[in-house]
Every structure is written in structure tokens, then in C-alpha cells.
Amino acid sequence: MKTIENVPFDEIQVGQTCSHQKTITEQDILLFAKVSGDNNPVHVDGDYAKSTQFGERIAHGMYTAALVSAAMALELPGPGSVYLTQSMKFKQPVKVGDELTILIEVIKKRAGKNFVTFSTLVTNQHGDRVLVGEAMARVSTEKIVLPAPELPPVHFG
Amino acid sequence: MKTIENVPFDEIQVGQTCSHQKTITEQDILLFAKVSGDNNPVHVDGDYAKSTQFGERIAHGMYTAALVSAAMALELPGPGSVYLTQSMKFKQPVKVGDELTILIEVIKKRAGKNFVTFSTLVTNQHGDRVLVGEAMARVSTEKIVLPAPELPPVHFG
């Protein structure tokens, strides 16, 4: 079984990073529309989206943000931490087929309350920054290793 | 057919609000885990979640944020706008059965580039603030009314 584990507060170092890749699919956008309730046709209707400034369907900005939060939840700082704040600028649209890189980097540690500040950056396959932000979490002082639950598949229709 | 429509820049007034209610279900949390990739057991494994400081499964913070972005995308300012920034503090955990109120309020208008700043607040049935934040969007100057696409149902398993 796969596991997920954290980086405990004492082991976190300024400059430490984790990086993930994700290629955006139609199903990702549809599922995000479903779960968020945001069925704005710029996300789910290709014909309408063609008439907009974007020229084709785009992913929800908050979907890209969800990839950031997943990287933080699963790897850096990982389980046992508490997500406190997140700021973000949406710099470029994300489209189906885009290959995103999610980069989390430790930029500050604050002992006492075990607060850690992270830079959160998402770029696409052209090197364009699509999301730029900063997050803060309270990080566990203990090493945590957990089985990663398997989620059932999802079907539309 | 249902429609969605925007509030054009000239009609937006400081102090204007929109408000939505949403009761959180198990399926919401599972779907968000699936689409974000964040299967941290604090969200999807009730037995594990009991052992944490939260005492039961909690929703992903970014799921609550997704409800904020949906309210903005669909109603205030609505379609045709471009989401530029969002900041948020996660103040309290959100649990299955929580009845959330999502409140969007216009706090600043900046002509020229048609930028509008919004306060974004989510409270629960006890009146606790679960998400506090601020967003900025570029708002269309034209009135836009669109058919709201129907999304197919989603099934697990």
C-alpha cells in the first residue's frame, strides 16, 4: 500500500522544495465544475469558450489552487499539518492538455507555534507562471507516516 | 433553461453583496479528494480522522475556497469577469453536515482597468468564520446573460 508522510517541523529547511507534474484533462475540468458548482460555460462549453478572449475552455483558477494544496497536504509539509493561509495571483489561463508543474518551497520558519511559510508556484509547459502565491501552515513536530487511502473511480453520466 | 448573468462594471456598487448556502456532504469531500488528488486520510478516512485534533473528517480548505470562487463566477461579478487574485485564511475546520454561508461583498472599484475588490467570507451554522479573504477580478463592462450548462451526474465506483 502506498503511504504519505510529512516533513516534521525540525527537519524543514528554508529552501527545501517539492515539485509535482500534472497534465490537465477535460475530465478534471468537468469534475471540478461539478464539485464546486461552477458550471460557467467558459469552463464546460467549448463553443461558448471559443467566443471569449481565451479562445477555448479554461480550467477554474481554483482548480490550479487545489493542486497546490494537494502537494502541500501530501508531501511538503505533508500530513499532520494545518493549512492556515493561502494567497494567489492567477497570471495565465490553464487549458486542456497543459502540463503544469507545481512547486512548493519553504521560505520561512517560525519556531514556537511551528509556523512555516511556503512559496507556491505553478508554471505551464511554456514556462509561463499561471499561479503565484504564498501559503502558511502549522507543521507537526512529529514524524507521521500514513497509508494513502485508495479512492474509488468516478464516472460521469 | 437556467441562465447565469453578470453584474457589469458600471452597475457594481460598493457594499453590494451576494450570498449562497451549501450543506457539506460526504460525497462533496470525496469528489474534491478525487479531483484535487488530495487523499489525505484526514479527509477521507473516518477512523483515522477520529484520532486527529479534529475528531472527525474535515473538508479540504480549498473546497471551501472553491465555493467562494463559484459564487463569484456565477453571480457577483458573474460571467465575463477574470479572476485575478484571492487571499484567504482558513479559520475553522469544515465538517460533513456543516451548513455554510458564502458571502461576497464589493469593497472597492477601480475604473480604467475595471478592477473590483471583494470581501469573501464563509461562515458555518454556528456563525463561526471558516474562511476569511479578499479577491480581485476584472469585470466586464457589458451585460452578459448565458445559458447555464447542465452537467451530467457523477457516480463513484
Domain range enclosing A139: 3-24+61-146
Residue A34 included in any domain: no
pLDDT, tens digit, 9 for 90 and up, residues B97-155: 999 999 999 999 998 999 999 999 999 999 999 999 999 999 999 999 999 999 989 88
A contact test, residue of B20, B25, B27, B39 with most A CBs within 10 A = B39
DSSP β-ladder status, A3-5 and A99-110: unpaired
Q: How far is A65 from chain B (nearest CA, A)?
A: 7
Residue A153 included in any domain: no
Instruction: Give the CATH number of the domain where residue A83 resides.
Output: 3.10.129.10
**pLDDT, chain B, mean:** 96
Q: Which of A42, A44, A62 is opposite residue B65, by nearest beta carbon?
A: A62
Number of domains, chain B: 1
Q: What is the mean pLDDT of residues B77-84?
A: 97
Any B CB within 8 A of A87 CB: yes
Residue A121 included in any domain: yes
Residue B31 included in any domain: no
- Per DSSP, the residues of B12-60 read --TT-EEEEEEE--HHHHHHHHHHH----HHHH-HHHHHTSTTSS-B--
Q: Which of B39, B87, B88 is opposite residue A148, by nearest beta carbon?
A: B39
DSSP classification of residue B62: H
Residue B110 included in any domain: yes
**Cα A53 to Cα A68: distance, rounded to the nearest angstrom:** 26
Residue A52 included in any domain: no
- Supply the ipTM of this predicted assembly: 0.96
Size of interface A-B (CB pairs under 8 A): 160
* Contact (CB, 8 A) for A80 and A9: no
Residue B47 included in any domain: no
Q: What pLDDT, on the 0 to 100 scale, is given for residue B147?
A: 93
For residue A82, the SS3 value is: strand
Residue A141 included in any domain: yes
A157 has pLDDT over 80 = no
Any B CB within 8 A of A41 CB: yes
- Cis preceding linkage at A149, omega within 30: no
* Contact (CB, 8 A) for A96 and A25: yes
**Cα B128 to Cα B125: distance, rounded to the nearest angstrom:** 7
Residue with cell 460571467: B79
